[in-house]
Amino acid sequence: MIERYTRPEMGRIWTEENKYNIWLEIEILAVEAMAKLGQVPESAAKHIRATAKCDVDKINEIEKVTKHDVIAFLTNVEEYVGEDSRFIHLGMTSSDVLDTCLAVQMKQAGEMIIDDLEKLAVVLKRRALEFKHTVTVGRSHGIHAETTTFGLKMALWYDECQRNIVRMKRAVETSSVGMISGAVGTYEHLSPLVERHVCENLGLTPVNISTQVIQRDIHAEYMTTIAIISTLVEKIGIEIRHLQRTEVREAEEYFSVGQKGSSAMPHKRNPIASENISGQARLLRGNAHAAIENNALWHERDISHSSVERVIIPDSTISLDYILNRTIKLIDGLIVYPDRMEENLNMTFGLIHSQKVLLALARKGLKRQDAYVLVQRNSMKTWDEQIPLIDSLLADPDIMSHFEEEELRNLFSYDKVFDSVDFIFNRLGIK
């Protein structure tokens, strides 16, 4: 991932230095396990723990010759360890190191994403409460539908964020598996106790069964979880992009002092954060598809998955971490315009109350479709002539034969929606 979209905390997880240090720890732990089993001298294990090091630049130079990263790494480690290096990587295959290391990095990255989601949930909850009773129009098909509140929008996102926390925790747990099982996963040259020792010390669980690799359905689950999470922040971004449109202007991204919106038009204040979030969510969905494709490998393995994963897993965790944090700032600083929401509510001259009238007629004994015809007839008049719906209804004798004027006018109140809001907030535990 390019530096522009990389937060340093997440970026460090995917550095060559972190990767090689994890490789080194895996190799040392394996030697120590073998020493406990009496397969390696205790003195050699202690010497390896004390002297083993690696140098990223030197590894890269060696790899130019070997064309094999693990061999280049081992060659470099041998330079520091000396004769006892013959006990390093005994019975192991490259993927024992690569896949176990990847599991550690995925766990590190996943835990950071969980922390991001928990922070997002906090700010969504706070702003949901802030706008709990801020009336705004709900839209379906982009058209004014009925009354909702801006707090309910935030509460909806909060609830989905909670589900995503559960999903990510599950994905981290599922992917936190390592293997030290040898060339085709049969433990022919290794004891499973070595694998257990390595995994326990790295915070992993030994995978139930492997070939020469951990099966990639595990990684695909992790990546599809990332893609699902990205759809939440994209959903938020799309909503804000619409609300910031000049014709709507019910909310907008915070525009800082000195910020510029356009190189050509000084007046512009664009929803750039929301658009960036939407764009990167597309990338994450594409990466998830590639991860699914990685699960079908030849026989006990090939390396067609390897080049893909070197890109998509670091990039996806970095990108999601970035857009989650950008969404946190976006929601925290979002400017909301309740007065404009009220103006837009009144834009359709009371049409958003049409269902209330329909239901009231049905309760009075009219057949639903007959009531629908009566209300729709007056609603179309409001659409076409911009006559307030209440005035059209009051002038319709077929309507007024069922209502007193005050009773009809009371149907145009927003108060009823607040009862529903309290119920939903209580069910979500937002207090």
Q: Tens of pLDDT along the chain (431 residues)?
A: 788 999 999 999 999 999 999 999 999 999 999 999 999 999 999 999 999 999 999 999 999 999 999 999 999 999 999 999 999 999 999 999 999 999 999 999 999 999 999 999 999 999 999 999 999 999 999 999 899 999 999 999 999 999 999 999 999 999 999 999 999 999 999 999 999 999 999 999 999 999 989 999 999 999 999 999 999 999 999 999 999 999 999 999 887 777 887 778 888 788 888 999 999 999 999 999 999 998 999 998 888 888 889 899 999 999 999 999 999 999 999 999 999 999 999 999 999 899 999 999 999 999 999 999 999 999 999 999 999 999 999 999 999 999 999 999 999 988 888 888 999 999 999 98
197 is annotated as an active-site residue: no
Q: Do β-strands 205-206 and 251-252 pair in parallel, antiparallel, or remain unpaired? A: unpaired
* Residue 251 three-state SS: strand
Nearest to 168 by CA among 105, 235, 115: 115
β-strand partners of 178: 206
Contacts of 33 (CB under 8 A, 6+ apart): 191, 193, 194, 196, 197, 198
- In the chain, residues under CATH classification 1.10.275.10 are 10-90
Q: Residue 208 — φ and ψ, nearest 5°?
A: -60, -45
- Residues 366/402, Cβ–Cβ less than 8 Å: yes
Nearest to 117 by CA among 175, 171, 160: 160
Q: Determine the angle formed by the axes of helices 69-81 and 94-130, rounding to 10 degrees.
A: 100
Taking the C-alpha atoms of residue 55 and residue 15, their distance in angstroms, rounded to an integer, is 13
pLDDT at 260: 80
pLDDT at 22: 98
CATH 1.20.200.10 fits 93-342, yes or no: yes
pLDDT at 301: 85
* Residue 25 three-state SS: helix
Taking the C-alpha atoms of residue 162 and residue 125, their distance in angstroms, rounded to an integer, is 11
Tell me how crowded residue 281 is: count the other CB atoms within 10 A of its CB. Answer: 23
Tell me how crowded residue 79 is: count the other CB atoms within 10 A of its CB. Answer: 13
β-strand partners of 11: none
Taking the C-alpha atoms of residue 139 and residue 145, their distance in angstroms, rounded to an integer, is 5
Indicate which residue of 140, 141, 263, 267 is catalytic.
141
- In the chain, residues under CATH classification 1.20.200.10 are 93-342
End-to-end CA distance of the chain: 39
DSSP of 407-424, one letter per residue? Answer: HHHHTT-SHHHHHHHHHH
Taking the C-alpha atoms of residue 268 and residue 35, their distance in angstroms, rounded to an integer, is 68
pLDDT at 2: 83
Domain topology for 10-90: Fumarase C; Chain B, domain 1 (1.10.275)
Tell me how crowded residue 377 is: count the other CB atoms within 10 A of its CB. Answer: 14
- Residues 317/110, Cβ–Cβ less than 8 Å: yes
**CATH classification number, 351-411, choose in 3.30.70.270, 3.40.50.1220, 1.20.1430.10, 1.10.40.30:** 1.10.40.30
- CA dihedral sign of residues 201, 202, 207, 211: negative
Indicate which residue of 43, 68, 262, 304 is catalytic.
262
Say what the pTM is. Answer: 0.92
Taking the C-alpha atoms of residue 101 and residue 107, their distance in angstroms, rounded to an integer, is 10
141 is annotated as an active-site residue: yes
